Amino acid sequence: MTISIKNDSAALQPEKFIVYGRADCHLCQQMILALEKLPEQVSLDYQVIDIDTDPELVTLYGEKIPVLVSPTKEVICYHFFKFSALDDYLGKIR
């Protein structure tokens, strides 16, 4: 399986994972970089959403960013990318 990572923040697409973050967030950039470096066995499409564009997202995720959310809206991890958390999630849906 080849890795397929896309960053498309133009429109919310429910089949994609979402990274909620902010423009000038170094932890957000670290999570995105970690997603880009995933092993080839993992195929993950994601999009980045800036929470500052929506007051409801600020209320929901403000102190937790970055937050990696599954296509089913399950929070996988926040603050730091945790491969084990992603692996646990993927194990549940396989």
HSE (side-chain half, CA atoms, 13 Å) at 41:
4
Q: Walk me through the domains of the chain, giving residue ranges and CATH numbers.
A: 17-93 (3.40.30.10)
> Considering only CA atoms, which of 51, 46, 86 is closest in space to residue 65?
51
pLDDT digits (tens, 9 = 90+) for 7-28: 444 444 457 999 999 999 999 9
Which residue blocks in the chain are alpha helix, DSSP H? 26-36, 55-61, 83-93
3-state secondary structure of 87: helix
pTM listed for this prediction: 0.82
Per DSSP, 7 falls in state B
What pLDDT, on the 0 to 100 scale, is given for residue 41?
A: 74
